[in-house]
Each structure stands twice: as C-alpha cells, then as structure tokens.
Structure 1
Amino acid sequence: MLTDTQDLDTQCPCGSGKPFVFCCEPAISGRKPAATAEALMRSRYTAFAIGAVDYLVQTTAAAKRSPQDAELLAEQTQITTWTGLEIVTTEAGQTNDETGLVEFKAAFESPEGGAILHERSRFERESGLWVYLDGEVELIPS
C-alpha cells in the first residue's frame, strides 16, 4: 500500500505516469473529488490496488451499495494484485456532464491466476460528485 503520499517518485498505480500525490491521491484522500468519470475510474482502480476500501464504498452510487460491501472489498483487495490499467474508450463523463461511460481493461493476479477484467462502467453524478453506477464485465484469463 502506498503510505508516503509526499513521495514524488512513487508513480500512480492508474498508469497515468504522474506521481500518486498529484494523480489519484487527492481524490482518494477526499481533498479533491474526481473531476471526470475517467478520473473517478482511475482513482477507483488505484483504490483497489492500494486497498482503500472506504473510498470504493463512498464512490459507489448509494442505490448500489449493500451493508456487506466493505467486508467483501477488503477481502478482495487483500488477495488481488492489480498490475495494469488500459483505458479503451470514454463517452461523456466530462466536468459538465451528468453521466459517463468508461471502457477499460485492468490486469490482475489472484490466487486463481492472472486475468484481465474488461468492463464498460457507467458513472453518474450524485450530489454533484461522480460515482460508479454499474458495468458490463468480462473476465479474460491470461
């Protein structure tokens, strides 16, 4: 888990090429909300990679949350190592939009082996902030 947010040499797990402290950390820490659906998607990928379970719950649409989410996410983040993110396409989801779609491929390793999560995620604004709504998911063994 990334612990020193002032380390300018620590690249963000989302693959942007930027230091974590200037990329996804401000959203995950709550200092600066994600400005676009893609930025939220990248920050959620990073949250999965570093185990920021509270952020994952908070950035899921309220209607899609369930009481056991935090426990399930904590278990998942402990056994999964996320190894790469590729943004395939984005539709809407900009600063003035109310909805957006981000298609991505995220590579990971788990006790069952490696795979790629290919998802078309839908995002919407809730109280002015971007949240994850749902997605069409395909798991591709690697």
Structure 2
Amino acid sequence: MNDASPANCPCCSGQRLSECCQPLHAGKPASTAQALMRSRYAAYVLGLVDYLVATTLPAQQPGLDQAAIAAWSSQSSWLGLEVETHELLEGQPAHARVTFTAHWRDAQGTHAHRENSAFVQSAGRWYFIDPTVALKVNRNDPCPCGSAVKFKKCCAGFL
C-alpha cells in the first residue's frame, strides 16, 4: 500500500511528498477536498497535529482532543490510504464528500477504517467537518463555517 520511501508522499498519491502534501502542510490551501483529505492522512503519518487541527472546521477546533490525536498518530504504523470517490456538491458554500479507507497497525493489530467524510470551503480554504465534535449552534443560527447561510441549510446535514 504505502511505499516507505521518504520521497514518496504518505497519502499514496504516487507523487513526491514535496510536490503533493508538503506544500499544504506548509500553508498552501488545498485545491480540492480530496487533496485536503489526503494531506490530513499524511499529517497523521508525519505527526502534524497542528495541521490536523487547523484543517478542521474552525468552530470545531476547540473541541478536538489534541493529545489523543497525537497519541494515535505516534502509536500507529500507517499502512496506506485508498481513495474511492470524491464528490463536489452543488451550492454555496461549496461542500464535498470523500470516501476513503485508511489502513494502520497498532498494539491491538491491523485495522482498516472506511469513511465518507464531509468538507466545506470557506474563505478559499477547505475544512474537514468532524462528525465527532459537536457544534453549539441552533438550526436557524448562521452556519459556523462562515457562510451567510443558516446552519440548517448549510453544514447541518453533514453532521
């Protein structure tokens, strides 16, 4: 699955790290939700917890358990990533879904996790909408993604 060569990107794109996820880790905005998702997987492999936090929907960032993220990242051997689908959804702001399977090994054994993740684009950047982090917002409040749209008509359907 994942070629262990440091020149190859851990996201399994087949590209060099320096041409794939590394520029995103350095601050370049991801051009697509799939690119962001791949860079997030690579960040787990590389232990870039700050990047994982920064690429989560800003309103959810305070609810992230950074110590748990760091522990999972460092205590796992990351085995590879398979991206199945990337779907850009119509509307403003732009939303997308990326279906993927991540593979890793830890003290409990070898694992595969398949997920259909949601993303939103805000102010020219893609963000992961974390379904495990609750948002303190009512249906008719402005969406926390920064759009001028009500939460119920924007990101609510992705949580």
What TM-score results when the alignment is normalised by the length of structure 2?
A: 0.73
2:22 maps to 1:25: yes
Spell out structure 1 runs of 4+ moving beyond 4 A: none
Q: Indicate the residue corresponding to 1:140 in structure 2.
A: none
The CA deviation at 1:66 is: 2.8
Instruction: Quickly say closer, same or farther: Cα 1:124–1:13, change in 2 above 3 A.
Output: same
Query: Where does the alignment leave 5 or more consecutive residues of structure 1 unmatched?
Result: 1-7, 137-142
Q: Indicate the residue corresponding to 1:63 in structure 2.
A: 59
Question: Where do 1:1-142 residues align within 5 Å?
Answer: 10-30=7-27, 32-66=28-62, 69-92=65-88, 98-134=94-130
Q: Does the 8 Å CA contact 1:123/1:133 hold for their aligned counterparts?
A: yes
Q: Render the CA deviation track for 1:61-102: whole Å, top value 9, x for unaligned.
A: 0222235522221111111111111001111069x9711000
Greater strand fraction, Structure 1 or Structure 2: 1
Query: Where does the alignment leave 5 or more consecutive residues of structure 2 unmatched?
Result: 133-159
- Letter matched to residue 85 of structure 1: L
Q: Does the 8 Å CA contact 2:29/2:124 hold for their aligned counterparts?
A: no
- Letter matched to residue 77 of structure 1: S
Please, what is the CA RMSD of the aligned residues?
2.3
The CA deviation at 1:48 is: 0.4
- Letter matched to residue 10 of structure 1: A
Instruction: Quickly say closer, same or farther: Cα 1:71–1:28, change in 2 above 3 A.
Output: same
Q: Does the 8 Å CA contact 1:36/1:93 hold for their aligned counterparts?
A: no
How many equivalent residue pairs? 127
Q: Does the 8 Å CA contact 1:49/1:82 hold for their aligned counterparts?
A: yes
Percent identical residues: 39
The CA deviation at 1:126 is: 2.4
Q: Render the CA deviation track for 1:38-57: whole Å, top value 9, x for unaligned.
A: 00000000000110000000
Per mean C-alpha deviation after superposition, the further-off stretch among 38-47 and 58-67 is 58-67
The CA deviation at 1:135 is: 5.2
CA distance in 2, matches of 1:51, 1:112: 20
What TM-score results when the alignment is normalised by the length of structure 1?
A: 0.81
CA distance in 1, matches of 2:89, 2:10: 21
CA distance in 2, matches of 1:22, 1:135: 30
